[in-house]
Amino acid sequence: MLELKDITLTIGQKDAAQDLLSEITLRLPPAHFAAIIGPSGCGKSTLLKAITGIKSHTRGSIHWNERDLEADGDMDPHEIGYVPQFSIAHELLTVKECVESSLRLRVSNLTPDELAARIEKVLGSVGLNEIGDRRVALISGGQKRRLGMAIEMSSSPSLLLCDEVTSGLDPKSEDEIVKLMHLLAQSDGRIVLSVTHSLQHVSLHDSVIVLYEGVLAYHGSPKFITHYFGITRPEDLYLRLAERKAHDWRQSWHKHRPAYYEQSGLPPMTVTAPPVTAPPKQEEPPKPEPAAAVVELSEADELERLRGIVEKKQKGEPSEPAPPPIKKPEPKRKSPSPSPSIFTQFSVLLSRRWKLFFRDRGQVLLQLALLFGFPCLVVIFALDGLEPVKNFSTQIGASFLEQAMAEKNITIEVAQVGTLVSGLIMFQVILLALMGSNNSAREVAAERNLFEKEKFAGLSPLAYVASKVTFLGALVVAQSVWMTVFVNMIVGFQGEFVAQVMSLVLINAAITFVCLGISSWLRSAEQSSLLSMYLVGFQLPLSGVVLALPKAIATVTQIFIASYWGWSGFIRSMESTRYYDAIKQVTQTEPAGGFLCTWVLLAHVVIGIFFTYTGCKNSRWE
């Protein structure tokens, strides 16, 4: 049983406050299929999101099976399913893989045989068995809506909420989806609540909820809509609503609700009268227009009988006893299985991410181009200076200062080698920063709505973030290690190889996870990509390596510039070689200590992951 009592949702402050929903009161029994209809902007989707908890209502209460959700806690993720308007699955996965992924993320302790049986049952319930092996990108709009319901049905929810799942479909597909929702409502005592603009299939619903400017104008059987609103056909409803103010419709429904609830077979409820902000006018019960009489005899008699009951209630006269409403039996439901562990969800998400990666040919080709192309680019810029670098690195003799004073050509060579080596190291650092931005700038933002839907169904944000960190960490290590090995193999840098690898891994990881944090906080992938590119663009000028910064500015900015710490860490790995002296001669920026560089870059990584987690934990529904 779902019961809403005086649900009000207000936005804005004081004088600018606006009610998106105003004192919505209704009750829905088990095994019930209800539609929410009304003009655009009347609060249909807002009401659905208020029920799910996606939007918090300002006043009132929501009760589920006699439990006050605000006082006793939200519904268990297994009890509720939500099918939104937006994309419901990764398009590179097959229909069967989407349902399997959903089952493994939501239901624990399934053996392989049980998992296969559940997948087959869920696909069969929505008529998708024949296209189970087809990728989501290749199925029709109507089939995608069926898939959305299949994903939510994987946990067998008691309450299924569908937000305009028939919008944009052809009449045949729309008819099939509405009949499917009706069938799902009859199975397992489920309540199905569907937001729709279409009035063509209202007769297929057990009840219809009519909203107008945030107020409840009607809730009852669809066969009484024309009688209540005094129209000849349901298609005239929206024009009729516009003829009166929302306040008047609310007052009218409050007076007529008991009789219509009684005749519609809806469970009765006692509510307080809504506050009267203006003196109410004496209303007569709505009368159908003459054309409304052109109906079958049995329905006309029922409408006339209902009208008599309403008139007697208004006059205070006792009404004839109504036949008891047909009560649908509430089947016994098994208690839901506990949600899978964080580790199980993590492994499912990681496996799915790698599968998506290898199926995206464009992404694979881009990663290969970056992996092999960027190191080659570094080597190309080093070709003209390779010979003096190699000769310089193997020179044995007097100290560096003595050679520089004794021979003019040594001074020139020192300047050339120091400039080239420093530049090549910074070039590697910047290219790895670009790789890091490419790795993660769109990672969360591009699938945010899908993630929010899975989080709503019980997915742990910690498992989600851990899967992203593991996947991106593998890319970071592959990119950074190969960059170090390839460039050192050609150029012949000397120094501590492990420290050089560590410096490049950390600079890549720092940018990768900071950009991942950006992606988790911004609402669109485009915004995240743009901000991440700005972040990389400031790495070179604010590092102080190419152009020296004033000391006062450098002290403040360099702590936030990962490229400076990556460059410093690499330079410090050469401290025991002649390169280090050469670099110090040509740069005005003092490299930081290697130990400090490691800890600052690790701090960047940790902060990026922390912001990713907080961004994912917060709701970002569109």
Burial of 376 (0-12, 13-18, 19+ CB in 10 A): exposed
pLDDT of residue 270: 54
CB 21 within 8 A of CB 214: yes
Q: Which residue ranges make up each domain of the chain?
A: 2-79+157-244, 342-617
For residue 480, is it left (φ>0), alpha (ψ between -120 and 50) or beta? alpha
* β partners of residue 135: 94
Q: How many CB atoms lie within 10 A of CB 375?
A: 22
β-bridge mates for residue 64, sequence order: 2, 67
Computed on alpha carbons and rounded to an integer, the radius of gyration of the chain in Å comes to 33
Q: Which positions ≥6 away from 371 have C-beta within 8 Å?
A: 478, 479, 482
- CA distances to 37, 282, 335, 345 from 195, rounded to whole Å, are 6, 33, 28, 31
pLDDT for the residue numbered 409: 55
pLDDT digits (tens, 9 = 90+) for 496-541: 999 999 999 999 999 999 999 999 999 899 999 999 999 999 888 8
pLDDT at 117: 94
Rounded Cα gap, residues 240 and 235, in angstroms? 10
The model's pTM: 0.84
Identity at 73, one-letter amino acid code = G
DSSP at 162: E
Tens-place pLDDT, residues 241-280: 999 999 999 999 999 999 899 888 888 865 444 444 444 4
What is the fold of 2-79+157-244? Rossmann fold (3.40.50)
Tell me which residue of 429, 471, 468, 403 sits closest to 568, measured CA to CA. 429
Amino acid present at 234: P
Which residues does residue 163 pair with via DSSP β-bridges, in sequence order?
195
pLDDT in tens, 429-487: 999 999 999 999 999 999 999 999 999 999 999 999 999 999 999 999 999 999 999 99
Helices (H), 88-224: 95-106, 112-125, 141-153, 171-186
CB atoms under 10 Å from CB of 513, counted, come to: 27
Find out whether 183 and 124 touch, Cβ atoms under 8 Å: no
What's the pLDDT at 273? 46
From CA 323, how far away is CA 432, in angstroms rounded?
A: 76
Which residues of the chain fall below pLDDT 70? 87, 269-338, 385-415, 622
**CB of 450 within 8 A of CB of 621?**
no
Q: How many CB atoms lie within 10 A of CB 247?
A: 16
